[in-house]
Amino acid sequence: DIVMTQSPLSLAVTPGESASISCRSSQSLLHSNGYNYLDWYLQKPGQSPQLLFYLASNRASGVPDRFSGSGAGTDFTLKISRVEAEDVGVYYCMQTLQTPGTFGGGTKVEIK
């Protein structure tokens, strides 16, 4: 199975500042079609996860443009510019290149 490693484990951010989360995969997520099969999800407290980005950098419907996804191969980044209180929760990356899909361990984002 492809192992997904996220860092940091947790992050405390002042509202209005930016935050960055790293996700690394044990194998390249680049498909022969040119796409990187990496998703980002946010699980807000007490809620189900929600899709933020698919194929590394494609923003899902309704996701504010304060969020951006980037990266390729084995190294990926989720960036939140101008963090707001509603952004708290646990962020997960997930690879969908191979079965089984595998998630990173999660990064907990809190507000200072």
Partner 1 sequence: QVQLVESGGGVVQPGRSLRISCAASGFPFSGYAMHWVRQAPGKGLEWVAFISFDGSNQDYRDSVKGRFTISRDNSQDTLYLQMNSLRVEDTAVYFCARDRTGSSGSLSDWGQGTLVTVSS
Which stretches of the chain bind partner 1, using CB under 8 A?
37, 39, 41, 43, 48-51, 54-55, 60, 90, 92, 94, 96-97, 99-106
Tokens at 77, concatenated: 């980044």
Q: Are 51 and 44 in contact (CB under 8 A)?
A: no
Q: In angstroms, what is the minimal distance from the CB of 96 to partner 1?
A: 3
Q: In angstroms, what is the minimal distance from the CB of 90 to partner 1?
A: 8
Of 40 and 87, nearer to partner 1 (C-beta) is 40
Dist. CA 106–CA 64, nearest whole Å: 20
Q: In angstroms, what is the minimal distance from the CB of 32 to partner 1?
A: 15
Of 67 and 92, nearer to partner 1 (C-beta) is 92
Dist. CA 43–CA 74, nearest whole Å: 23
Of 30 and 97, nearer to partner 1 (C-beta) is 97
Of 76 and 92, nearer to partner 1 (C-beta) is 92
111, containing H or E segment:
strand 107-111
Helix %, strand %, coil % of the chain (to 5):
5, 50, 45
Q: In angstroms, what is the minimal distance from the CB of 86 to partner 1?
A: 18
What is the number of other CB atoms lying within 10 angstroms of the CB of residue 92? 22
